[in-house]
Amino acid sequence: MPNNKRYLIDSDVLITSKNLYYRPDFCAAFWTWIVSGHKAGHLFSIDKVKQELLNGNKDDPLYSWAQSDALKDFFIGSAPGTPKWRDLASWAVKGDYLQAAKDKFLNVSSADAWLIAVAATEGDYVIVTNETSAPNSLKNIKLPDAAKALNVTTIPLFELLQSKAHRTFEYK
């Protein structure tokens, strides 16, 4: 049975991929795979992630990548997730996290809480993130732990690649 899930990609996945594993100068296939997955209606991100990418150096490959015509509808708006963002904020504030962790996570310009809010609003998105759960952390609110509070699923990039990429990064 085909997997018709939709995925929201976290900015850290894109940045880490560019810096470590899939630098555009030698692994353009990875970036083409993302575009192919988007054209197939499966891979997306949000406007807050795009803004994080555009806040970088204009010479950074992700700066121009994020503005390419092929990704015109890739970065969906986060505003419809506002009610779920408020629910998530309430959950975070009630938690035992240090105030600095709450402030960082709930910064309205930061993408993590908005990714969760959009996924919870839409109901059929899985968030692709490099973060791992750390439910006992007081210093950081980890995306997988916050996502769980709103019943949103997260997966690491390599799990997504195993299910949605051929060895040649052809989207399947």
Q: What is the pLDDT of residue 3?
A: 61
Of the candidates 113, 111, 43, the residue with the CA atom closest to the CA atom of residue 73: 43
Inter-residue contact 33 to 171 (CB < 8 Å): yes
Q: What is the pLDDT of residue 169?
A: 78
Tokens 């894109």, residue located? 14
pLDDT tens-digit series, residues 123-154? 999 999 999 999 899 999 999 999 999 999 99
pLDDT tens-digit series, residues 155-168? 999 999 998 887 77
Q: What is the pLDDT of residue 105?
A: 96
pLDDT at residue 26 above 90?
Answer: no
pTM of the model: 0.93
Using 50, 70 and 90 to split pLDDT, how confident is the model at 1?
Answer: very low
Of the candidates 116, 112, 96, the residue with the CA atom closest to the CA atom of residue 104: 112
Q: What is the pLDDT of residue 166?
A: 78
State the average pLDDT for the chain. 93
Of the candidates 106, 97, 107, 103, the residue with the CA atom closest to the CA atom of residue 139: 97
Residue 119 CA neighbour count, 13 Å, CB half: 33
Beta strand 125-128 pairing with 6-9? parallel
pLDDT at residue 98 above 70?
Answer: yes
Q: Which domains does the chain have, with CATH numbers?
A: 6-164 (3.40.50)
Inter-residue contact 157 to 130 (CB < 8 Å): yes
pLDDT tens-digit series, residues 36-93? 999 999 999 999 999 999 997 889 999 999 999 999 899 999 999 999 999 999 999 9
Q: What is the pLDDT of residue 153?
A: 97
pLDDT at residue 120 above 70?
Answer: yes
